[in-house]
Amino acid sequence: MNKYKMEVVVGIFVIFGLVCVGYMTVKLGHVSLFGDDTYALTARFTSVTGLRTGSPVYIWGIEVGRVENISMDQREQKAVVEIRIKKGVVIYDDAIASIKTEGLIGDKYLNIDPGGSGEPLTNGGVIADTQPAVEVVDLIGKYVFGDIKTSKEKKGE
């Protein structure tokens, strides 16, 4: 009898552990099991260097979505970024999407200024105004080799 009691306790512990692992997999993997509470938008960039599938999307510093897919449009010669935005977050057709960097050499993320004077974008909408990431290495190179003028040089001093 004592043997079966120990097996039942171990079995319950194993099942509880598997449920916990499954829950963490769903939460950390950003998987939705019970319906989709997001809508899709698309933005086209001249460069998406450093942006990855799964990168966060922020509005005013608040995470409102994720980058779903990154592909190429050979005809227009642009990178196409598909994003998923939480339902209830309204983005207008005059929105601006830009790629930013967390910290000096951090990961890239997509920042959206949602606009407000146009029509709201719906599922499958396109954010027309985009700004690619600023490359820190290029800026440093320009500064080191004298391509960037200081404020004194601009004033003619």
Does residue 67 share a domain with residue 14? no
Are residue 27 and residue 59 in the same domain, yes or no? no
Both tokens assigned to 88: 């209830």
Count up the domains in the chain and report the number. 2
- The answer to whether 125 and 42 are in contact (CB under 8 A) is yes
pLDDT of 81 above 90 = yes
pLDDT digits (tens, 9 = 90+) for 86-124: 998 899 988 899 988 887 677 889 999 988 888 888 888
13 and 70 inside one domain: no
Residue 137 CB-density burial (10 A; 0-12 exposed, 13-18 middle, 19+ buried): exposed
* Cα–Cα separations (whole angstroms), residue 104 to 33, 64, 66, 67, 101: 36, 23, 22, 21, 7
Provide the whole-model pTM.
Answer: 0.66
Instruction: For residues 7 and 62, state if they share a domain.
Output: no
* Same-domain status, 23 and 43: no
